[in-house]
């Protein structure tokens, strides 16, 4: 309860939490703001490229589709991709980091060297290459991002595990004869959980951004999916006259990434008050 109170006093973090919450609600129930979710891909050539109006607050695109509705429905795919990527990266990265950090020996060195290789290559370039190899589509974008994102978790967990491993209570447990698995699962994991959650939260925003870049470059979602990156890439051709086409999906990305980053920053401050922003 004390933690909740402290969190509520952190205004930017609360703002971030509200943005994320709103996005999650819209992703699950787009019907709240969209009349007919099945119709969002259906064009209407007569209504082509209409500027924002009271009826269509974000205007229409080159096929006469309602951009507002497409942006709202796009929330779902953005969140699905980032959630999938972050969860898969955690499932792969956290145990590897734990093992590498707690044990020493060739297995641990091998894990960390592979991680270093992944981290040395810019993530986006590697993701583009893998997505390109797998063929166009949202699934291959997700796989490509997951394959390139797990090393970030391994690094974080590795560093934290090394810190916890040196602490006296782990040594005491070893002294009492606790098994390595028990120490890793029940003692080190909870103690490294906080930084992992922070990294996951910030990572959600980061993955949304990267997924949008993939969509924009044409290796991610395929038309007519209401993907934000894809919409920007299509709307780019109509800049600057029909500015609303590319602007509103871009603002959606901006807002959601900002939300995750503010939330992640707030969580980090809760976890580690020494990192309080000035």
User: Of these, 177, 273, 276, 278, which contacts other proteins (CB under 8 A)?
Assistant: 177
User: Of these, 169, 223, 236, 254, which contacts other proteins (CB under 8 A)?
Assistant: 169
Q: Looking at residues 33 to 62 of the shown chain, list those that interact with other proteins (rule: CB under 8 A).
A: none
167 belongs to the binding site for other proteins (CB under 8 A):
yes
Residues 247 and 231: their CA atoms lie apart, in Å, by 10
What's the min distance (Å) between Cβ of 169 and other proteins?
5
Region of 75-83, 112-120, 170-178, 218-226 interacting with other proteins (CB under 8 A):
170-178
What's the min distance (Å) between Cβ of 171 and other proteins?
8
188-217 footprint of other proteins as x/- string (CB under 8 A) = --xx--------------------------
Nearest one of 268, 257, 262 to 205, comparing CA atoms: 257
Using the 8-state DSSP alphabet, how is residue 51 labeled? P
Region of 50-58, 112-120, 178-186, 266-274 interacting with other proteins (CB under 8 A):
178-186
Nearest one of 176, 244, 201 to 90, comparing CA atoms: 201
Supply angle C-alpha 164, 194, 107, rounded to 5. 50
Which of 175, 240 has the CB closer to other proteins?
175
185 belongs to the binding site for other proteins (CB under 8 A):
no
Which of 170, 246 has the CB closer to other proteins?
170
Structure tokens at 246: 């590319």
In angstroms, the Cα distances linking 186 to 91, 189, 190, 191, 230 are 17, 6, 7, 9, 44
Residues 187 and 177: their CA atoms lie apart, in Å, by 14
113 belongs to the binding site for other proteins (CB under 8 A):
no
187 belongs to the binding site for other proteins (CB under 8 A):
yes
Supply angle C-alpha 157, 128, 229, rounded to 5. 95
273 belongs to the binding site for other proteins (CB under 8 A):
no
CB 207 within 8 A of CB 145: yes
Residues 68 and 52: their CA atoms lie apart, in Å, by 9
* Footprint on this chain of other proteins (rule: CB under 8 A): 167-169, 171-179, 182, 186-187, 190-191
């Amino acid at each position: 309860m004390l933690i909740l109170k402290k969190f509520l006093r952190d205004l930017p973090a609360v703002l971030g939490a509200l943005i994320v919450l709103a996005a999650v609600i819209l992703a699950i129930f787009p019907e709240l703001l969209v009349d007919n979710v099945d119709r969002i891909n259906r064009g209407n050539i007569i209504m082509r490229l209409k500027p924002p109006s009271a009826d269509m607050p974000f205007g229409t695109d080159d096929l006469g589709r309602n951009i507002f509705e497409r942006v709202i429905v796009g929330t779902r795919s953005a969140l699905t991709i980032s959630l999938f990527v972050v969860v898969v990266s955690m499932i792969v990265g956290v145990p590897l980091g734990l093992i590498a950090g707690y044990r020493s020996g060739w297995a641990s060195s091998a894990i960390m060297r592979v991680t270093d290789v992944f981290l040395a290559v810019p993530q986006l370039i590697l993701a583009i290459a893998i997505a390109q190899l797998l063929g166009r589509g949202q699934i291959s974008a997700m796989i490509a991002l997951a394959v390139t994102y797990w090393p970030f978790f391994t690094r974080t967990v590795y560093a934290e595990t090394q810190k916890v491993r040196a602490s006296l209570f782990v040594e005491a447990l070893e002294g009492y004869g606790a098994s390595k698995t028990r120490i890793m699962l029940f003692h080190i994991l909870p103690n490294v959980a906080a930084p992992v959650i922070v990294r996951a939260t910030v990572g959600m925003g980061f993955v949304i951004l990267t997924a949008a870049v993939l969509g924009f470059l044409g290796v991610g979602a395929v038309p007519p999916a209401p993907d934000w990156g894809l919409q920007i890439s299509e709307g780019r051709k109509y800049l600057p006259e029909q500015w609303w086409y590319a602007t509103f999906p871009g603002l959606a990305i901006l807002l959601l990434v900002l939300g995750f980053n503010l939330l992640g920053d707030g969580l980090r401050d809760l976890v580690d008050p020494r990192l309080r922003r000035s």
